[in-house]
Structure 1
């Protein structure tokens, strides 16, 4: 007996074409990190309506995220983590970035160092620098720098955040108003080229903005995983940053956009000793 007619019909070809387009979308995102609907439509030769439908389906499958008319691979929204957990993430990149940042510290500098695992990596690399004064919100950074005989350490006061071993609040802000510093070194939780630089803590974000207003040069230590992501609280717009130090995993597209914004970009080579 012959099988029912519907079992002998070949499958329509449209789904296969759609699946191939999905693969191309994902491949392009792996190359460029973030792409707008219009960019994808142009690259793939289809309408923006078609691309939006594709992105909706891929987002439902948790293969990408959609933000303001664009598609990205990583979840852009960051949850706060304890500093001990954060220190294990991208540790090779943070060490390389911190070592490079430490070389920018000059004799008789008065620097601000914000809290964070990348700035702590920097503090560990600061050697004997003549007449260095370092002001910091971080207890870990302060105790590390205190081992350096050439460094005068000023620990800001305030409310201690258990998750970061750093201080925030009005007492820290009041102390900051008394200083004028040459450089600020700070890490970020998120660096979105359109939205700005963010952190996961409201009070920490406000204090970071005050730090930016206190210094002559703002230097952001940003491992490549932070680009295209957002924390809860905005610290500043991208144009407030003078220099970004990042690792060799950063997308060339991101580097180009940073340079177009007038930011001095320093890319450090990473010797990887840990499993990603």
Structure 2
């Protein structure tokens, strides 16, 4: 059965509502039309603002993130971030030395963190340092460097050099995007560079990310998913993504 243009477009949008993305090659085979025809279909739908194209795929939602100010981002997915933060706090053990990166998920983590005996925290986030300064029995190391106004955190060579002087048991990392192929990303190249050094300095890499971060990409690539030990997220994660993360050997905690 040969489908006309309108029928193809309707089916493409239906598939996108059911899945995170669709592949050009898969649509070409299913509809028995050329790759060129499918690309034209997707271009027309994109021009109508019904989908987004990227690297041979189409997405219902824009896969690219924007560098919003931390004060705006903290209003998004607040309930999910609180649940993620509370669970992350339960991972801490006595005499842990941890890195808390930057972002609204780790700020929430700092708010709900209950200090364990001998806890040492190094952070790039000014907000995190201020929150933890009001809690007892935590040794806090604030990274120095260039202040990013949008995240109220530091980046740059000074921060990276400081990190090389320490080793840590855990890194709690917030991200702007998690792509199954491209890995972890953030909207800042300098922040991505600092996050790379944090990963080198820590024994266990724990990502705190609400489910809206999956299928998204930021400007700066932090690392591939093979560097990640655990992801703590919410129930909005889709089954396909969850299963793929399990296949990669990542511990996925859903709260």
C-alpha distance after superposition, 1:15-37 (max 9, x if no partner): 9x533432332222222212212
Give the drift of 1:206.
Answer: 0.5
Q: 2:78 aligns with which of 74, 79, 91?
A: 91
Q: TM-score, normalised to structure 2's length? A: 0.93
CA distance in 1, matches of 2:34, 2:80: 37
Q: TM-score, normalised to structure 1's length? A: 0.86
CA distance in 2, matches of 1:64, 1:85: 25
Give the drift of 1:48.
Answer: 4.6
CA distance in 2, matches of 1:99, 1:51: 45
Counterpart check, 1:202 vs 2:189: yes
Give the drift of 1:186.
Answer: 0.7
CA distance in 2, matches of 1:114, 1:172: 11
CA distance in 2, matches of 1:51, 1:99: 45
C-alpha distance after superposition, 1:164-213 (max 9, x if no partner): 11111122111111110011011111111111211111211100000000
C-alpha distance after superposition, 1:76-121 (max 9, x if no partner): 2222111101111222222221221111111111110001100011
CA distance in 2, matches of 1:104, 1:24: 45
Q: 1:130 aligns with which of 80, 99, 117?
A: 117
CA distance in 2, matches of 1:250, 1:156: 33
CA distance in 2, matches of 1:201, 1:134: 23
Matches within 5 A, 1:256-275: 256-268=243-255
Q: Where do 5+ consecutive residues of structure 2 fail to align?
A: none
Residue 133 of structure 1 aligns to a residue whose secondary structure is: strand
Residue 88 of structure 1 aligns to a residue whose secondary structure is: coil
Cα pair distance change 1:143/1:40, threshold 3 Å: same
Matches within 5 A, 1:94-109: 94-109=81-96
Matches within 5 A, 1:1-276: 17-42=4-29, 44-49=30-35, 50-268=37-255
Tell me which structure has the larger Cα radius of gyration: 1
Residue 64 of structure 2 aligns to a residue whose secondary structure is: coil
1:247/1:267 contact within 8 Å kept: yes
How many residue pairs match? The answer is 253
CA distance in 1, matches of 2:231, 2:104: 16
Residue 213 of structure 1 aligns to a residue whose secondary structure is: helix
CA distance in 1, matches of 2:7, 2:208: 38
- Equivalent residue for 1:271? none
Give the drift of 1:45.
Answer: 4.0
CA distance in 1, matches of 2:251, 2:34: 35
- C-alpha RMSD over aligned residues: 1.7
1:176/1:210 contact within 8 Å kept: yes
Residue 160 of structure 1 aligns to a residue whose secondary structure is: strand
Q: Where do 5+ consecutive residues of structure 1 fail to align?
A: 1-13, 269-276
CA distance in 2, matches of 1:96, 1:22: 39
